[in-house]
């Protein structure tokens, strides 16, 4: 986990080259901040930034090889190292001299720390530059946390803000907010300010202060529709429309929720318990808990019928020239 890398940074931050990989922006930013903070004599304003989507990597090399002025060391951040992932036709603005970078990585500057960031899910491991960078740099993966790992992190983060949160409430906050760690951290900070850094969080406090994520509302929308409550379904649907959600995106999310119900049902019949199901499906345990505890859980045949109808609705939404909002509204008004 990234916490192990953070301990190493505290011990010896002044590495010549770092490579930060992963799509979790919160962990990327925290790791970057820790390297900068732990580097002796460096303040935030001393850091030199390059965006590799706009600037050639040879500028980074040139800066790294230039001796620092009035400091023992310089810190350089080279963002968006997209040359480490698979090429996307038409999206490459800069032709980087990768041979030059590969040669420089063999003998990087002794007076600079260069931090390359690759905020992507996956790199192209077949590329020579990716292999060289991975072998010569200190590689830190900032991958998204999920399941019980995310719950534990929420509890730990809550403690840093001076508030107490048990596992069930941490799960509830994740279900309400979503799994974006930056958003979760912001909401925890808000809760701490409300509680004046003393006291316990309750579900009522979360409900009153924390906005529900679109995914949470989609769960509620799916649940009310499946249970046959058309009035409540339409109320939630109109709330989502007012918040800017698009019918096509909603249809996709609803279908995903229905598939989750089907998978949970299948694994439950096989004897899997909640944690096993969450791990197998790679979803947060609280989502699985809500599905398993739903007394109005429909039959498999009914869910399959809904999934089939959603596929038809998706096609209709993508081909219609009329009101997409109305297409989905009529679907919700039909009796299952």
Domains of the chain in sequence order: 2-141 (3.40.50.300), 147-209 (1.10.8.60), 214-333 (1.20.272.10)
Buried b / exposed e across 249-282, counting CB within 10 Å, b at 16+? ebbebbbbbbebbbbbbebbeeebebeebbeebe
Which residues are registered as beta bridge partners of 132?
none
The span from the CA of 100 to the CA of 98, in Å, is 5
- Angle (CA) 193 195 197, round 5°: 70
Radius of gyration of the chain (CA): 24
What pLDDT does 54 receive? 93
What pLDDT does 267 receive? 92
Residues 6+ apart with CB under 8 A from 307: 255, 258, 259, 262
Q: Model's pTM, two decimal places?
A: 0.72
Which residues are registered as beta bridge partners of 74?
112
The span from the CA of 174 to the CA of 179, in Å, is 6
- Angle (CA) 157 161 167, round 5°: 45
What pLDDT does 155 receive? 92
pLDDT in single tens digits along all 336 residues of the chain: 687 888 899 988 889 999 999 988 999 999 999 999 999 888 888 899 999 999 999 999 999 999 988 888 999 999 999 999 988 766 677 889 999 999 999 999 999 999 999 999 889 999 999 999 999 999 999 888 877 888 889 999 998 888 888 999 998 999 888 888 999 999 999 998 888 755 678 899 898 899 888 888 888 888 888 888 888 889 989 988 988 889 998 899 889 989 999 999 999 889 998 888 888 888 878 788 888 877 667 788 888 988 998 999 889 888 887 788 898 898 888 776
């Amino acid at each position: 986990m990234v916490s192990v890398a953070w301990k190493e940074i505290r011990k010896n931050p002044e590495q010549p080259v770092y490579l930060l990989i992963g799509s979790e922006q919160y962990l990327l930013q925290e790791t970057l901040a820790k390297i900068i903070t732990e580097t002796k004599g460096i303040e935030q304003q001393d850091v030199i930034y390059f965006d590799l989507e706009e600037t050639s990597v040879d500028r980074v090399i040139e800066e790294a090889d230039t001796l620092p002025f009035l400091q023992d060391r310089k810190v350089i951040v080279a963002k968006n190292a997209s040359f480490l992932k698979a090429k996307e036709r038409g999206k490459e603005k800069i032709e980087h001299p990768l041979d030059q970078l590969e040669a420089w990585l063999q003998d990087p500057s002794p007076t600079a720390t260069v931090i390359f960031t690759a905020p992507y899910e996956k790199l192209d491991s077949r590329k020579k530059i990716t292999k060289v960078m991975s072998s010569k740099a200190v590689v830190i993966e900032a991958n998204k946390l999920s399941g019980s790992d995310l719950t534990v992190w929420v509890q730990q983060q809550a403690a840093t803000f001076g508030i107490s949160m048990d596992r069930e409430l941490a799960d509830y906050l994740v279900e309400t907010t979503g799994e974006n760690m930056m958003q979760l951290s912001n909401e925890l900070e808000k809760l701490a300010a409300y509680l004046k850094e003393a006291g316990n969080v309750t579900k009522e406090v979360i409900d009153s202060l924390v906005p529900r994520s679109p995914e949470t509302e989609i769960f509620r929308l799916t649940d009310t529709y499946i249970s046959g409550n058309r009035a409540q379904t339409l109320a939630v649907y109109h709330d989502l429309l007012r918040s800017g959600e698009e019918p096509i995106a909603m249809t996709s999310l609803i279908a995903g929720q229905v598939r989750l119900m089907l998978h949970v049902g299948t694994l439950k019949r096989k004897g899997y318990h909640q944690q096993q199901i969450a791990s197998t499906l790679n979803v947060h345990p609280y989502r699985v808990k809500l599905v398993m505890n739903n007394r109005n859980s429909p039959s498999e045949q009914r869910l399959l019928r809904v999934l089939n109808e959603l596929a038809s609705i998706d096609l209709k939404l993508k081909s219609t020239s009329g009101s997409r909002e109305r297409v989905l509204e009529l679907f919700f008004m039909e009796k299952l």
